[in-house]
Structure 1
């Protein structure tokens, strides 16, 4: 028996596709066969499995479990919950690996799988290896057993096991995603006054798309905070591994700004520690980490890549513009929006200022949103290489950690190829509007010199 995956479903950090078109139960079964094979060949025998709130998730989870057991591993089902609950189960239960069925923050017709093996992300060439195993039918055989474990309450209790001080009036919006029940339970354990909206898990996402990095998706939360005059608001993506926030005035606090708040108590506890952020993060963040006595490290975008770099550098904290926040300080090193929310409440309290005051004190910079432009899959990395070659030839101040990040007297601009879509991603940050316009013009010029123009932006 062999199987061929749609190649577009095999992403850098996970497997993800449109259900019924590029992903279905047969793929889930084959992924189970391949992943179980890899786990067994690494000496493992048990795998935890969870799933998110999408309409297609139960069917895909059932097919996945059949595939896993057919290749001889035992499965521990933890049921519906956010992706970090699966990571927690993989860390705490006697298992060797974990799989979460999730479409993350993608539209309702998407779904996919995030995998972890022996507490480390399973990504890149590992995912491509699943395709090779499937095409060859190179799968282990067996008959694993299936049991269930209810980790929900243990997980939520672990979220508040640290020092959770600070009684605030907070709005919460899980966006009808898988984090809803966990947040509903979490706020019962926190001090303060809490107002939760869209907590019912509904895979059709009837209120808004569950992606807190798009400001339009925060409108309900902004309305809640304004109407009830709350201190701040917190929002979550579809599988609870990315957090967004607004202050008491409804201003968005982006991922790098959240990291600048979270870094202060971590560096107080661990002086001189490394703090990692991706190449899309503001220069303000790296300056702030250095000012606090930490070692700022700019790294590649992507949750699997960030987790790997954290292990290399013993970093207690890392984050991405996309709202993935990773704590190794008093936590497990994985990205958990619910835990980040608890630590954010504590960090605000420790600062002695309100969230609104913290947001107001941040440097006023002019930035573009993340701009994403369609480019043929075969060309996207070629274009970035061309841009890098020209910049080096011009003697530009360029960082090539992940694409091209160019620093000028005006600020900085970034052009990188997405690892998960056929798009180029651009961003710029400057001291004023005129400087920003010059930076964006520089991006346009480089694209034009490679025969492209920014054209229409594409959605996430």
Structure 2
């Protein structure tokens, strides 16, 4: 029995050839089909050169388990989520490695109504069966059909805006040569049909699995220049950049400045609560003060969840929350089956800019001034738990309020840190925020202090 190391906490991800190949993909498809026994599932893949062969192997595994497949072609993850709750199917699989290096690939798996399959909700069972290869033969194999879901997906996206209310504006769209470009093109076409006065400036829009401009991952500072420069050059109102499977989108203001995902959570929470006061907003524990402040100010109810899409989605379902946001730029919507989308957030931002007649920088400047944050800082360390304990011990005499909801959060009333081991990479992730009105010290002071502890 071969141990499969590509199974992670939330999804499947591994190095091509050794951890993930067509043979392993076949076994995963076969195991998924045998365990869940859906009648039909949707499947799609990102633009990586390895994704189409992995998709075909997964389809063969599903068909051999007796499962019918609707092949949606080259898609972003949220198109699979959409298909899984919109069509008459009972599950979905997206072949993607998102923002991982070029020699990686992976899969995101969902059940009926796009419910996530993670380590706690079935991924381990799939792993056990795929490793054992204890497959049962079926009387009738499944069939595969191609299906174009794009028109229905675009119709759904348009339900988040009122075309008549959109102000004239100019947007820079950076698909990073990933999967987002075909959706950007379709939305642009729809906007033209509806005479919505928005000009699209598209860069790196062509899907290209060789990633000539680098892996699309705008959370990395070095990957932001192309969007920033285009915003400044074209005097655009906003810049939008996506990762490879476009389930995360990153916003830049009219000055080309990158806006931390944390403040976009506050902006979208405000947008929902202005229309639906009293609704619940789910957030992650890494950075919280601004979100709590916004939700209280606009008469909402804040609910904390562990980081990670499977946890956020479960908590949102449990509380029937209208919106959930992570500072990592994952945004989740009740009307999107509680799934994350990289297209809905920028459409809502366009709505907010139109309704308020304000620039993006002015909409978030008070939040940034009031609750400055470090952004997520990643460290490679030999032993994450030992390092976390070292930080814990160092600050013990200051008697911070401690929260173990996700890693460790230490709250010192005027500043706060969260430190946690990554679920997907061998990294320690640090986030720091402060209350500017109560604390003259700069964020950098705290970053330097904690960095010294981690690296010293």
Q: What secondary structure does 1:113 align onto?
A: strand
Contact 1:392 1:398 in 2 (8 A): no
Distance 1:128 1:384 in 2: 28
Q: What secondary structure does 2:81 align onto?
A: helix
Distance 1:14 1:61 in 2: 15
2:213 is the counterpart of 1:207: yes
Distance 1:208 1:187 in 2: 25
Deviation at 1:179, TM superposition (A): 1.1
Q: What secondary structure does 1:159 align onto?
A: helix
Deviation at 1:413, TM superposition (A): 0.8
CA RMSD in angstroms comes to 2.2
Contact 2:380 2:428 in 1 (8 A): yes
Distance 2:319 2:389 in 1: 28
Contact 2:285 2:305 in 1 (8 A): yes
Contact 1:261 1:348 in 2 (8 A): no
Distance 1:193 1:234 in 2: 13
Could you list the runs of 4 or more consecutive aligned residues of structure 1 that deviate by over 6 angstroms after TM superposition?
389-394
Mapping 1:88-127, distance limit 5 Å: 88-119=82-113, 120-125=115-120, 126-127=122-123
1:71-109 CA distances to partner (integer Å, 9 max, x unpaired)? 121111111111101111111111111000011111222
Distance 2:320 2:155 in 1: 26
Q: What secondary structure does 2:224 align onto?
A: helix
2:131 aligned to which of 130, 135, 140: 135
1:78 aligned to which of 72, 76, 79: 72
2:20 is the counterpart of 1:23: yes
Which residue in 1 is equivalent to 2:312? 306
With over 3 angstroms needed to count, the CA separation of the structure-2 counterparts of 1:291 and 1:35, relative to structure 1, is same
Which residue in 2 is equivalent to 1:458? none
Q: What secondary structure does 1:367 align onto?
A: coil
Contact 2:287 2:433 in 1 (8 A): no
Distance 1:380 1:202 in 2: 36
Distance 1:390 1:71 in 2: 55
Which residue in 1 is equivalent to 2:409? 405
- Structure 1 window deviating more from structure 2 (221-230 vs 154-163): it is 154-163
- Structure 1 window deviating more from structure 2 (25-34 vs 122-131): it is 122-131
Contact 2:171 2:236 in 1 (8 A): yes
Q: What secondary structure does 1:193 align onto?
A: strand
Q: What secondary structure does 1:216 align onto?
A: helix
Contact 1:366 1:433 in 2 (8 A): no
1:349-390 CA distances to partner (integer Å, 9 max, x unpaired)? 2233222321333332543231222245xx435654676688
Which residue in 2 is equivalent to 1:350? 355
Which residue in 2 is equivalent to 1:248? 254
1:187-209 CA distances to partner (integer Å, 9 max, x unpaired)? 22232111111111011211233
Distance 1:231 1:114 in 2: 34
Deviation at 1:409, TM superposition (A): 3.9
Deviation at 1:247, TM superposition (A): 0.6
With over 3 angstroms needed to count, the CA separation of the structure-2 counterparts of 1:390 and 1:144, relative to structure 1, is farther
With over 3 angstroms needed to count, the CA separation of the structure-2 counterparts of 1:389 and 1:421, relative to structure 1, is same
Q: What secondary structure does 1:121 align onto?
A: coil
Distance 2:386 2:286 in 1: 20
Contact 2:260 2:375 in 1 (8 A): no
Mapping 1:449-460, distance limit 5 Å: 453-454=454-455
- Structure 1 window deviating more from structure 2 (363-372 vs 141-150): it is 363-372
- Structure 1 window deviating more from structure 2 (245-254 vs 277-286): it is 277-286
1:307-365 CA distances to partner (integer Å, 9 max, x unpaired)? 1111111111011111111111x432111111222122112222332223213333325
Mapping 1:207-246, distance limit 5 Å: 207-246=213-252
The TM-score normalised by the length of structure 2 is: 0.90
The TM-score normalised by the length of structure 1 is: 0.90
Distance 2:444 2:329 in 1: 26
- Structure 1 window deviating more from structure 2 (352-361 vs 389-398): it is 389-398
1:267 aligned to which of 267, 273, 279: 273
With over 3 angstroms needed to count, the CA separation of the structure-2 counterparts of 1:442 and 1:206, relative to structure 1, is same
1:87 aligned to which of 81, 87, 90: 81
